[in-house]
Amino acid sequence: LQLENALRRALERDQLRMHYQPQMDLTTGRVHSVEALLRWHHPQLGTISPAEFIPIAEDSGQILPIGEWVLRTALQQLKAWRDRGFADLSMAVNLSAIQFRQPQLPEMVSQILAEMELPSDALELELTEGVAVDDPHTAAATMNQLHARGVRLSMDDFGTGYSSLSQLKRFQIFKLKIDQSFVRDLGNDGNDRAIVSAIIRMAQALGMRTTAEGVETESQLAFLREQGCDEAQGYHFSTPLPAPELETFMRRRL
Ligand code: G
Ligand code: G
Ligand code: MN
Ligand code: NA
């Protein structure tokens, strides 16, 4: 409860910050998109991970104002980067299942994009497989609305949840993000190699892009390249960074 009250004040006291992690295009070697990752800098407790405070924000309803702040902040940053020469850059934003269930979500997203004078396809919304479990019909309708507005949908942590392959096709997913648990042991686990290879092949057959998460080594990267994975994200390239540092990273790779 203490953390919940502190979180309530975090937004107004300017304790929330965005970090950004690049998603590398393996064909061009350049940054295809950046993922916005939320950080909470508490004056006494230090930096608190979103894994810790997002569940609290969800239970207390604060995820809605926080989520809107995240979208606005990340898209404002994207606009600034596009204006400074990164014209094709996209922004990936994580959505909580609770945000996803808001009927106003598609309209809110379009409104912020218009506010920032950004095209809809500059935004990738990362959903987890869980969003479709409770109410697949409503989920499909929301995804269709977002897709119709031109927003790109990514399936985050793919392979760890419950999505069926038929759902995947129906949901018009732009990108599958292969969960880092399959990437970690690519070097010595033949099952993980088989799984990752099969996900990439399936995504190709369904016309979806693939991003491997948690890429930390050159040999993981070599395997992913060989399998035709489109993008890679992970400490091998960069940790999540504050905007100025990420900009320096991108300038070196223009
Ligand atoms: O960056 P880090 O590895 O600490 O993120 C931990 C978890 O928090 C990840 O599952 C990530 O998707 C989630 N997360 C990070 N930022 C956001 C955000 O802005 N909104 C939501 N809903 N989840 C986020
Ligand atoms: O659930 P989601 O994929 O949004 O979460 C991304 C999380 O993964 C973030 O917390 C981020 O800090 C973390 N992450 C990003 N790259 C790596 C990596 O190479 N290795 C590990 N262990 N974690 C990573
Ligand atoms: Mn994510
Ligand atoms: Na993920």
pLDDT digits 0-9 by tens, 62-76: 999 999 999 999 999
- What percentage of residues in the chain have a pLDDT greater than 90? 87
pLDDT for res 130: 82
Superfamily name and number for 2-251: EAL domain (3.20.20.450)
Best of 37, 220, 224 to mutate for ligand 2, by most ligand atoms within 8 A of CB? Answer: 37
pLDDT for res 171: 83
pLDDT for res 203: 95
Nearest CA to ligand 2 atom 21: 214
pLDDT band of 165, cuts 50, 70, 90: confident
Could you write out the DSSP letters of every residue in 192-254? HHHHHHHHHHHHHHHT-EEEE-S--SHHHHHHHHHHT--EE-STTT---B-HHHHHHHHHTT-
Please tell me the distance between residue 40's alpha carbon and the centre of ligand 4 in angstroms. 19
β-pairing verdict for 31-42 and 16-25: antiparallel
Structure token digits, residue 90: 């996209």
Q: In which residue are the tokens 């894994």 written?
A: 51
**Ligand 1 binding pocket, CB closer than 6 Å:** 37-38, 49-51, 54, 70, 94-96, 240
Cα separation, 173 vs 132, in Å, equals: 13
Q: Confirm if 213 and 186 have CB atoms less than 8 A apart.
A: no
| Ligand 2 binding pocket includes 39 (Cβ within 6 Å) | no
Please tell me the distance between residue 94's alpha carbon and the centre of ligand 3 in angstroms. 5
137 pLDDT more than 90:
no
215 pLDDT more than 90:
yes
140 pLDDT more than 90:
no
Question: Rounded mean pLDDT of the chain?
Answer: 94
Structure token digits, residue 230: 């489109």
Please tell me the distance between residue 235's alpha carbon and the centre of ligand 1 in angstroms. 16
Work out which ligand 1 atom sits closest to the CA atom of 50: 8
Q: Comparing C-alpha atoms, which of 135, 194, 132, 192 is closest to residue 168?
A: 132
214 pLDDT more than 90:
yes
Tell me the pTM: 0.97
Please tell me the distance between residue 35's alpha carbon and the centre of ligand 3 in angstroms. 7
Please provide the distance, in angstroms rounded to a whole number, between the alpha carbons at the two ends of the chain. Answer: 46
Q: Comparing C-alpha atoms, which of 209, 179, 208 is closest to residue 196?
A: 179
Please tell me the distance between residue 9's alpha carbon and the centre of ligand 4 in angstroms. 28
Structure token digits, residue 101: 């269930």
Domain boundaries, the chain: 2-251
139 pLDDT more than 90:
no
pLDDT for res 138: 85
Q: What is the DSSP letter of 129?
A: G
Across residues 132-149, what is the average pLDDT? 87
- Chain segment 30-55, per-residue pLDDT in tens: 999 999 999 999 999 999 999 999 99
pLDDT for res 150: 98
